[in-house]
A = this chain, B = another copy of it.
Amino acid sequence: MIRPEIISQSPVFMGITEAEITRLFQQVHYQVKSYGKSDILVNAGELCDRLIVIQEGSVKAEMTDYSGKTIKIEDLEAPFPLATAFLFGKNNRFPVTVVANNEVRVVVIPKAEFVKLLQWNTVILNNYLNTISTRAQFLSQKLKFLSFKTIKQKIAHYLLEQAGDRLAVVELPQTQEQLAEMFGVTRPALARALGEMNQEQLIEVQRKSIRILNKERMNQLLNG
């Protein structure tokens, strides 16, 4: 029923041999469920009391707004787990409705059984802790980034972070277009801000190559 060769590729079960997975799953209760295209796997608001791992096919997560319209949030495919971030915590309800994109087969492990796996197997425990911790760290980073109001602040933060303690020339690894999207601003606005910082002798812009001229004043931008 379960396919260890796929499960073992899932972030939560990574690093576990197929044999070990087979053995572990013999000792917990779980279900393998199949869905056809457009079937609903999970309704938004439903209690998240089980871990769902996609074994075959792909699903999409949709969010329903207050007027009832649905918006697609993301696609997930085998071997990824669903909503690892909502198995625990205060508000452990699915924030999204999950719909099958095609023929889908999933493994459903009740929360209590999954806790057993976490306690039995250090690798699974570490994998799971790493997964949600990494997510929290990612969100935290993103939040910090958004806390900077002006574009110049975002640029300053980004450049100082990229530069670290090393040399003062930062090579942009992306186009300004992509950077602008990361910053959540328009491309001309980003170019304008870069241009102004250039004039203010904060940085020296030469296409993708940016030299930091004044770390001190860059910081003042961020704090004072």
Q: Mark A128-158, 1 if CB is under 8 A from B, else 0.
A: 0110111111011011001000000000000
Does A54 have its Cβ within 8 Å of any Cβ on chain B? no
Q: How far is the CB of A44 from chain B (nearest CB, A)?
A: 13
CB proximity to B under 8 Å, residues A56-88: 65-67, 69, 71, 85-88
Q: Given contacts A65-B222, A219-B66, are A86 and B137 in contact (CB under 8 A)?
A: yes
A69 lies within 8 A of B136 (CB): no
Does A122 have its Cβ within 8 Å of any Cβ on chain B? yes
Question: Which of these, B65, B85, B142, B223, contacts A133 with CB under 8 Å?
Answer: B85
Q: How far is the CB of A25 from chain B (nearest CB, A)?
A: 19
Question: Which of these, B133, B215, B216, contacts A88 with CB under 8 Å?
Answer: B133
A87 to B135, CA, bound (A): 13
Does A169 have its Cβ within 8 Å of any Cβ on chain B? no
Chain B residue nearest to A156 (CB atoms) is B66
Q: A143 — which chain B residues lie within 8 A by C-beta?
A: 139, 142-143, 146
Q: A146 — which chain B residues lie within 8 A by C-beta?
A: 143, 146
Copies in the complex: 2
Chain B residue nearest to A141 (CB atoms) is B91
Chain B residue nearest to A140 (CB atoms) is B139
Which residue numbers of A lie inside 8 Å of B, CB to CB? 65-67, 69, 71, 85-92, 115, 118-120, 122, 125-126, 129-130, 132-137, 139-140, 142-143, 146, 160, 215-216, 218-219, 222-223
A140 lies within 8 A of B88 (CB): no
A130 to B90, CA, bound (A): 7
Question: Which of these, B119, B133, B137, contacts A119 with CB under 8 Å?
Answer: B119
A86 lies within 8 A of B133 (CB): yes
